[in-house]
Amino acid sequence: MNRGEGACLVCGEQLIYFEKAKKMECSICGRKLASYASCEDNHFVCDKCHAEKGIQYVMDYCLQSHSRNPIQILQELMEYPYIYMHGPEHHIMVGAALITSFHNSGGEVELKAALDEMKARGSQYPGGTCGFWGACGAAVSSGMYISIITQATPLSVKPWRWANEMTSRALAKIAELGGPRCCKRNSFAAAQEAATFTKENLGIIMELDEDIQCDFFKENRECRKKNCPYYG
């Protein structure tokens, strides 16, 4: 299994991105869906099949974690073989790590219900949105986190503002770091910004390491190396 460099989960070859979506059949479950990517041999794996095993591990891990540090949680989750270098599992994982850290830091939230809601919302956010929609899923995941813990709805006042502000701050941080995409870098940046936002607005203080180092650069063909603040 090749979990690095945005590789095809079927054959291990590199993915090719299309300018326009194509109708393709998932090589694992057989569903026909619109896709912006496949490998050179036309293998396509849908978001559900790509992320399913990794997401279940995220849920199980977070329910038993006592960590107050969202980056530490993310780093440990990222070591799991079915959390790939890039992929839609990060759209759930960022918010799940933040919800867990919030809970363990004294925040009032029913952990399992919040994690289940994070899974439900994050699963709806497609892969590749950073480039195709201009809204990285790691950033949106941090906004979902704020929405869930504050019980925001489209009719809320302050929670609605907070959820949107959180996403905008995470997006600004991610954009400042520059492309190309890196799900690890973007996840760390979004979680860092969310921990700061949580302290400022909700008074809950999570633990954060002063120096965050990424150990996954060898798996990322497009790693910016010394141009990334997390390069180890």
With cut-offs at 50, 70 and 90, classify the pLDDT of residue 3.
Answer: very low
Show the beta-strand stretches assigned E in 27-107.
32-39
- Please state, in angstroms and rounded to a whole number, the distance separating the CA atoms of residues 12 and 61: 27
**C-alpha dihedral, 99 to 105 to 108 to 112, nearest 10°:** 40
* Mean pLDDT lowest among 16-25, 64-73, 117-126, 197-206: 16-25
The phi, psi pair for 190, rounded to 5°, reads: -65, -40
CB 62 within 8 A of CB 158: no
Residue 187 vs residues 25, 69, 151, 203, 209: alpha-carbon distances, Å: 29, 13, 23, 22, 15
pLDDT digits (tens, 9 = 90+) for 45-99: 888 888 788 999 999 999 999 999 999 999 999 999 999 999 999 999 999 999 9
Burial class for 12, CB neighbours closer than 10 Å (0-12, 13-18, 19+): middle
The phi, psi pair for 208, rounded to 5°, reads: -140, 135
- Please state, in angstroms and rounded to a whole number, the distance separating the CA atoms of residues 73 and 19: 35
pLDDT digits (tens, 9 = 90+) for 29-53: 999 988 888 888 889 888 888 878 8
Neighbours of 60 (CB within 10 A): 11
- Asked whether residue 203 carries a pLDDT value surpassing 50, the answer given is yes
The pLDDT assigned to 2 comes to 41
Q: b/e per residue, 34-44, with b = 16+ CB within 10 A?
A: ebbbbbeeebb
Residue 217 is given by DSSP the state G
- Over residues 1-16, the mean pLDDT reads 69
